[in-house]
Amino acid sequence: MTVYHGGIVETDQFSNVTFVGMESVSLMFDTRPLFSELIARAREELDWNSTDDDIAVVGVLHYGKSGRVFSRQVRIASEVGWDRYVNIVMKNEIQCLDLVMRKVLKDPTP
């Protein structure tokens, strides 16, 4: 799978997404990771080791045929959402796990 971070995600009038100025990191696992394992590995690879920050995860669904590919964002916030995302991608013609991750700073004020 590929994790994109930094930069921005642009959305056109049809909700198709394009990565602009983003860096990417490929993550390989021997077996399908749990969502918590994915987050832990991403923290390690991206050097986001502070557990004071949350990580927002968005999956990108690519679908289409004959050279016309559409890409849409899907928020993933739990193990259930992760399972649904992976299952949808694996049933798709374009089986590509692209994830956008961002650090979400916790507000220190109560």
- CATH numbers and ranges of domains, the chain: 2-105 (3.10.20)
pLDDT at 39: 93
pLDDT at 93: 86
DSSP alpha helix (H) spans, 19-108: 35-46, 79-91
pTM of the full structure: 0.86
The token pair at 30 is 């021997």
Residue 11 backbone class (left: φ over 0; alpha: ψ -120 to 50; beta: rest): beta
Please give the C-alpha separations between residue 97 and each of 18, 60, 66, 89, 110, in angstroms, as whole numbers. Answer: 15, 7, 20, 7, 37
pLDDT at 83: 97
pLDDT at 105: 74
Three-class SS state of 56: strand
DSSP-derived secondary structure letter, 26: E
Q: Give average pLDDT by consecutive 10-residue segment, the chain, 110 residues.
A: 94 89 95 94 89 86 82 95 96 91 76
